[in-house]
Homo-oligomer: A and B are copies of this chain.
Amino acid sequence: MGAQTDTRSRIQEVAITLFTEQGYEATSLREIAEALGVTKAALYYHFRTKEDIVASLIEDRIEALDELIAWAGRRPRTAETRAELIRRYGALMTKGRAHEVMHFMDRNKTALQGHAKVDLMRERMGELMQALYDPDDPLPVKLKRSMALFAMHAAWFFIRDESTTEAERAAAGLQVALELADGSGG
């Protein structure tokens, strides 16, 4: 704890910001180090690799998703389950740096491909998406429900307006997600 923990979380904060704004590959460890006023080698004391910085940002999220998927598996695939799943997913996203992490991952899809923890996270997101529909649902239904989870992040991805609050974004995302997951036809 103390100075070490503080430096560690400062590294995470600077890293996710630069990774999202400039890109994961475009951001060198030297750049992160300089932004913090330390050197490259100092980073290597706190994280063994560049990948480890990413892993540290998402590993707690994966656990939360696991629980949510397990919960969904124990319930019937009804409209109520879908709505509740979406609400719970939304609640998860209010904690920590959840939206920043999703934004970072969205903007660096290929660059993060192959990273163990990221691949796991993507897999979990896919499972969660598939918990929202049946394999024999018509394509438009599959599409709408697939987009439901995405809708909960879209207010951060699409709406650039600085004056919009986090709460407003969350509420709008939730509303649109629930609409998308509700219907059974066109």
Q: A17–B109 Cα gap in the complex (Å)?
A: 15
> Which of A28-36, A49-57, A173-181 lies at the interface?
A173-181
- Please tell me the size bucket of the interface on A: 35 or more
Query: Contact between A151 and B143 (Cβ–Cβ < 8 Å)?
Result: yes
Copy total for this chain:
2
User: Any chain B CB within 8 A of the CB of A23?
Assistant: yes
Mask of A52-89 contacts with B, CB within 8 angstroms, 1/0: 00000000000000000000000000000000000000
Q: A139–B167 Cα gap in the complex (Å)?
A: 11
Instruction: Write the residues of chain A forming the contact surface with B, with a CB cutoff of 8 angstroms.
Output: 19-20, 22-26, 106-111, 113, 129, 139-140, 142-144, 146-147, 150-151, 154-155, 158-159, 164, 168-169, 171-173, 175-176, 179, 186
